[in-house]
Structure 1
């Protein structure tokens, strides 16, 4: 089982190293998706950047998540391929309703669709399509729920609900509504709505496609040559709005938040090192200790046979994507003493801005003084040759922050180590 997991992990790492040129995307929504053919607009935009998209959609007018969850055509399209992304767009008004109503009428069916997506292909990424408020708010429902009386209020409720769906389902959110609001604030003369003040104009669909491009590919769309039927200036403006909305704050939209993220710490006792895996969203683990040895344990302990500097690599995966982190650690020599020699002494303990090292008269050769932080990193090193029977050496430690340190003194015939505390006055 360990062998199988390790092969899978390494193969994912090799695949992940190649630049992805093609994405398979399924859109599940309604008229906000099919008006002006959003999927094809995204396709053309990506193609102009030498990226390709294989796409399909299920978008009957006015459809809700509840209807899609039992709609045969939608269910068939979910299972027809191993989609990289499945984009979910709810009916335009429902997520803007009061939270207790959304909790009953929207969230359960968002969860059901997300479950169906992952049942078909575990590695598919659900992405929620945060839609926009109507240009002048929702006039029909305004009397019953005041936040819906304006674009800003309706847009805010949509934002809150879609972000909640992202958290609940560990899914990403394409912040289309947030980009629409930013565009409107920057230039209200570029109308993103069609004449019904609800559906998108060509400019609105283009901005939406730009947001999806930045969200899916996680790279800028600014400068892509496809501009639809817009002017070059209009297209450039909308591209910049999309990039600033998405790429400046990826964590806000949970983009990349629910994939493996490698992290670890360690503690050491001479050449024995305990490693602590602090990675998130990972089920497979592979360590490389930089000395020819590896491990698939979650929190391994490793004994280094020789001192030196080692590059510790941790690779983690969820069987779909991988993440790698490398950190450098220092293993200092195991202490060996000649008991017949007088001991080296240091003072004061604790020290502040200076340490005095007192050598026995018998030591005449070059000495190396090293100071290590608790994690094994060398923070100071100095060579000192005893001359004219001067047996005391004062070492400036003013640059070191307060804390616990290992002080190591190496001579030709001995190696001594002291633990001390730096404590400023």
Structure 2
């Protein structure tokens, strides 16, 4: 736990320092999440993907991240440093990611907790950043179904059931808050179906492997730019695999703009 706390503060301090020195024409992106955001520095993968596309598409992305392990949206609301960072304004995009199982719970519980916390964070963002766009980062189901079973709620005891439940909750949060949804979980589902031999998970069956984080980063980047691209940044992955993950990410977003609340 101490290591996670140290990592969290190190990430925050480093990225706040970077943001302070970025060019004014760079997109300021605030990531609010937990280990699904900080594993393999996924937020920096987004920056590198942007930096390695064709010259005619090149944009600069400056990420800042608040991502303590296991953190919920409710705990983020209680973090005074995060609230101050939002209130300082100047954010172009704010990425919101809930704890991995919270949005997969029973509908009543998710509505009373996760949805309300999402709405509170969204309202703070919009109050101080009227031109910012909030993006809900849809996560993926655990490899073999939820690692934290809920009594009398077997829907999420399989990967498929957990993934569908997460997708519904994240899409509803986007709809209710006039926000966008980055469908990482839907892209994840497609890769599992098409290439079951590709390891998207860390050995614990929950966190992402480097390939999983790279897929997430490409989905988030596509959600921001909303156009096809080819990036030469592969995060150390095999080139063929990286290009495949780029294509899956782009197609999952660009073929579903209305579903994701991006196109009206």
Q: Which residue of 2 aligns with 1:25?
A: 29
Q: 2:47 aligns with which of 22, 43, 50?
A: 43
What TM-score comes out, normalization by structure 2 length?
0.87
Which of 77, 92, 117 is matched with 2:85 structurally?
77
| 1:285 matched residue in structure 2 | none
Distance 1:41 1:79 in 2: 26
Q: 1:226 maps to what in 2? A: 233
CA distance in 2, matches of 1:216, 1:146: 35
SS in 2 for 1:235: helix
| Structure 2 counterparts to residues 340-379 of structure 1, below 5 A | none
Question: Does the 8 A contact of 1:58 with 1:77 survive in 2?
Answer: no
TM-fit CA distance, 1:143:
4.8
Query: For 2:257, what is the secondary structure of its paired residue?
Result: helix
Of structures 1 and 2, the one scoring higher in RCO (CA 8 A, sep 6+) is: 2
Map of 1:333-344 to 2, 5 A cutoff?
none
Contact 1:58–1:73, Cα closer than 8 Å, also in 2: no
| Residue number in structure 2 paired with 1:204 | 212
Tell me, yes or no, if the aligned pair for 2:101 and 2:148 is still in contact at 8 Å: no
Pairs aligned (count): 236
2:252 is equivalent to residue 245 of structure 1:
yes
1:80: Cα distance to partner?
Answer: 2.9
Aligned to 1:421: none
The aligned runs of 1:35-184 (5 Å cut-off) are 35-49=39-53, 50-141=58-149, 143-184=151-192
CA RMSD across the alignment: 1.2
Cα distance, 1:55 vs structure 2: 1.4
1:178 shift after superposition? 0.3
Partner SS state of residue 173, structure 1: strand
For 1:33, what is the secondary structure of its paired residue?
Answer: helix
- Counterpart CA distance in 2 for 1:230 and 1:80 is 37
TM-score, normalised via structure 1 length: 0.54
CA distance in 2, matches of 1:172, 1:107: 15
How big is the shift at 1:148?
A: 1.1
- Structure 2 residue runs of 5 or longer lacking an equivalent are 1-24
SS of residue matched to 1:86: strand
Instruction: Tell me the distance in 2 between the aligned counterparts of 1:24 and 1:114.
Output: 17
For residues 81 and 115 of structure 1, what CA distance do their matches in structure 2 show?
13
Higher strand share: 1
Ranges in structure 1 where 5+ consecutive residues have no aligned partner: 1-20, 258-425
Task: Give me the whole-angstrom Cα distance separating, in 2, the residues matched to 1:139 and 1:128.
Answer: 22
Which consecutive aligned stretches of 4+ in structure 1 deviate over 3 angstroms post-superposition? Answer: none
CA contact (8 A) 1:172 1:256 kept: no
Inter-partner Cα distance in structure 2 for 1:180 and 1:143: 27
CA separation in 2, counterparts of 1:139 and 1:86? 28
